[in-house]
């Protein structure tokens, strides 16, 4: 009886070993006598021992840190750059059959691509155009990993570390750039002011009375200031209309 009970227990355990439970995000790549048979899962699946083998593959997005890479930019500046890559397996069959250790392969490809792409750009682009570089690296990785059944969804450059001496040089460059912009803005302001003054002089030249009014307004503004004595030149243009008026008024009297 003990012999038969032990035999039945062994058979039951052997049959139970055929069953596998896969979570929603797992798939099983099943080989039958060494040949690919099918992808199973999720849920309860049956794997017949000896003649069938199973390789479990996860379909969730994998977050992979790319180790710090030494990069020489196009303008010969040495920087240290690290990044993070987001990818997932979309074809478990290719991920197992087409490449050995797809995680390691993706990591190595990301490192070499990061150095290659960033080495084609200058330091200013590495610091100011990260979105463009991220998209470029992501496209290259996604193109190469497509044959492995892997989809690279995003790449983010985390840190760009540069030497302290280069930081001082960048600060001086930024200061010079700010001074250049300030001078340009000042010059543009002077140019606009000169145009406005030219327009005002043309208008005043067409109307001499307006020029006289402006002259009198200036006198009024100066008189309001705290000063005891004001010496102000009196243009002949202001006196001439008055003299003409007096001259016209005296002509009839002379005739009389």
Domain 62-166 has CATH 1.10.3720.10: no
pLDDT in tens, 201-236: 777 667 665 666 666 666 676 666 665 566 656 665
Q: What letters, b where the CB count within 10 A reaches 16 and e where it falls short, cover 145-163?
A: beebbbbbeebebeebebe
Question: Which residue carries 């004595």 as its tokens?
Answer: 229
- Per the listing, tokens 């140019």 go with 191
The predicted-structure confidence for 227-240, as pLDDT tens digits, reads as follows 556 665 666 555 56
Interatomic CA distance for residues 51 and 32, integer angstroms:
6
Q: Rounded to whole angstroms, how far apart are CA atoms 141 and 125? A: 20
Beta-carbon contacts of 17 under 8 Å, excluding residues fewer than 6 positions away, are 49
Question: pLDDT tens-digit profile of 66-86?
Answer: 999 999 888 888 899 999 999
Q: In whole numbers, what is the pLDDT of the chain averaged over residues? A: 83
What pTM does this model have?
A: 0.66
List, for residues 85-133, the tens digit of each pLDDT value. 999 999 999 999 999 999 999 999 999 999 999 999 988 888 889 999 9
> What is the DSSP track for 101-150?
SHHHHHHHHHHHHHHHHHTTS-HHHHHH-HHHHHHHHHHHHHHHHGGGTE
CA distance linking residue 209 with residue 246, whole number of Å? 18
How many helices and strands, by DSSP H and E, does the chain display? 8, 8
Of 101-115, 160-174, 183-197, the least confident:
160-174
Predicted local confidence at residue 4, as pLDDT: 78
């Amino acid at each position: 009886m003990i012999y038969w009970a032990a035999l039945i227990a062994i058979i039951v355990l052997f049959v139970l070993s055929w069953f596998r439970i896969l979570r929603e995000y797992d798939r099983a790549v099943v080989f039958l006598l060494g040949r690919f048979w099918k992808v199973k899962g999720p849920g309860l699946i049956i794997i017949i021992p000896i003649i069938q083998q199973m390789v479990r593959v996860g379909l969730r997005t994998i977050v992979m840190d790319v180790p710090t890479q030494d990069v020489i930019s196009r303008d010969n500046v040495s920087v240290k750059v690290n990044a993070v890559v987001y990818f997932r397996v979309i074809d478990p069959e290719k991920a197992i059959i087409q490449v050995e250790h797809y995680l390691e392969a993706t990591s190595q490809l990301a490192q070499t691509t990061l150095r290659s792409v960033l080495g084609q750009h200058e330091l200013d682009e590495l610091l100011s155009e990260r979105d463009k570089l991220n998209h470029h690296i992501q496209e290259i990785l996604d193109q190469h990993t497509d044959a492995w059944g892997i989809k690279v969804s995003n790449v983010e450059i985390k840190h760009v570390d540069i030497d302290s001496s280069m930081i001082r040089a960048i600060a001086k460059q930024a200061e010079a750039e700010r001074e250049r912009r300030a001078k340009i803005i000042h010059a543009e302001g002077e140019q606009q002011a000169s145009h406005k003054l030219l327009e005002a002089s043309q208008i005043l030249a067409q109307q001499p009375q307006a020029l006289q009014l402006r002259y009198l307004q200036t006198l009024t503004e100066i008189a309001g200031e705290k000063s005891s004595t004001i010496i102000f030149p009196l243009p002949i243009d202001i006196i001439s209309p008055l003299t003409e008026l007096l001259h016209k008024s005296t002509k009839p009297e002379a005739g009389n």
